[in-house]
């Protein structure tokens, strides 16, 4: 199983260098640099943060996990931005996409929350067509046909998007049992659509390590998700000790996960080393 680490994009500390973090993560053997996405929150814009990381690295993948795709209302411009980042990174971009479930993000973006599914479908159709046939809206992405797409969500619409446009599925950070519970439906949808091979399966986990880790994790997730069942489940699924991280990584590997991305909450660049040490690198 590949293991990635998130960039420090949530409530970012100006003293923590995105470029330095990215270089160090690559040197420690992580396979992916991940970013999450919200509009109504103090965090770096995901594609911009990945562009900085791309310029500082040469091998590591750059993954949105996930990007709130329907908020990118200009579909041609989104496709151009993604193709640019894919070309500048020599084909290292992976786009994990989902519509999201927070109405405040759409309200702030001036977009109808209840139409986010239709907006998402329209974006996928336009972007994938543009990547195949730029028709004057370049550049062509480095990856033929465009960056690999991972679709998030558990609904029938989410699985339809995955088998129509995606290379695989990305799960929310609600624990390995939640990940495992949805795999049969994901695999069945893939097979019933006649897709060759198997979908790429990506899991996500929140973590914090070192002094004050549990409090940083709890505070960070409460701020990010604000309230509700999803918040509680995310906090319960977060990991704040090296032993818990190691067990979670092993559990995801046993469940059939192809790549696990662990997202940091607080701390500085030492989180890269603490995580690498926890998983035995």
CA gap 88, 244 in Å, rounded: 37
DSSP codes of every residue in 54-117 = HHH-SSSEEEEEEEEGGG---HHHHHHHHHHHHHHTTS-EEEEEE--S-HHHHHHHT--GGGHH
Mean of per-residue pLDDT scores for the chain: 96
Nearest CA among 35, 43, 89 for reference residue 65: 35
Q: List the structure tokens of 168.
A: 């695989």
User: pLDDT of 78-121, one tens digit each?
Assistant: 999 999 999 999 999 999 999 999 999 999 999 999 999 999 99
Facing residues of 200 across strands?
A: 168
Q: List the structure tokens of 127.
A: 């972007």
Q: Assign 227 a pLDDT band (cuts: 50, 70, 90).
A: low
Domain boundaries, the chain: 2-278
User: pLDDT of 11-30, one tens digit each?
Assistant: 999 999 999 999 999 999 99
Q: Assign 135 a pLDDT band (cuts: 50, 70, 90).
A: confident
Q: Report the alpha-carbon angle 145-146-150, nearest 5.
A: 115
Q: Which helix (H) or strand (E) holds 170?
A: strand 168-170
User: pLDDT of 172-192, one tens digit each?
Assistant: 999 999 999 999 999 999 999
CA gap 66, 90 in Å, rounded: 21
- The pLDDT assigned to 226 comes to 77
Residue entry with tokens 């004050």 = 212
Region 258-271 average pLDDT: 97
**What percentage of residues in the chain have a pLDDT greater than 90?**
94
Class of domain 2-278 (CATH, top level): alpha beta
User: pLDDT of 29-45, one tens digit each?
Assistant: 999 999 999 999 999 99
Q: List the structure tokens of 55.
A: 């310029």
CA gap 270, 144 in Å, rounded: 37
| Distance in Å from the first CA to the final CA of the chain | 14
DSSP codes of every residue in 189-245 = HHHHTT-SS--EEEEEEEE--STTHHHHHHHHHHHHH-SSHHHHHHHHH-B-SHHHH
């Amino acid at each position: 199983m590949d293991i990635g680490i998130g960039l420090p994009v949530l409530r970012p500390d100006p003293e923590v260098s995105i470029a330095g973090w990215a270089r160090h993560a690559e040197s420690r053997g992580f396979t992916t640099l991940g970013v999450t996405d919200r509009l109504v929150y103090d965090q770096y814009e995901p594609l911009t943060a990945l562009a900085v990381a791309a310029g500082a690295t040469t091998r590591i993948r750059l993954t949105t996990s996930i990007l709130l795709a329907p908020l990118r209302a200009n579909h041609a411009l989104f496709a151009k931005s993604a193709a640019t980042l894919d070309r500048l990174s020599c084909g290292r971009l992976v786009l994990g996409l989902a519509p999201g479930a927070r109405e405040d993000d759409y309200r702030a973006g001036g977009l109808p929350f209840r139409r986010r599914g239709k907006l998402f479908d329209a974006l996928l159709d336009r972007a994938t067509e543009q990547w195949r046939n730029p028709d004057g809206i370049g550049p062509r992405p480095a990856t033929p046909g465009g960056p690999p797409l991972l679709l998030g969500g558990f609904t029938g619409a989410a699985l339809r998007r995955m088998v129509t446009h995606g290379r695989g599925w990305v799960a929310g950070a609600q624990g390995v049992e939640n990940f495992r519970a949805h795999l049969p439906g994901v695999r069945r949808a893939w097979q019933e659509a006649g897709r060759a091979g198997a979908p790429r399966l990506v899991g996500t986990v929140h973590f914090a390590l070192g002094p004050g880790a549990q409090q940083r994790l709890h505070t960070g997730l409460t701020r990010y998700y604000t309230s509700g069942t999803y918040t509680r489940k995310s906090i319960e699924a977060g990991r704040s000790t090296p032993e818990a991280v190691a067990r979670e990584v092993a559990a995801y590997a046993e469940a059939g996960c192809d790549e696990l991305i662990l997202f940091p909450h607080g701390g500085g660049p030492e989180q890269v080393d603490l995580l690498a040490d926890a998983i035995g690198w």
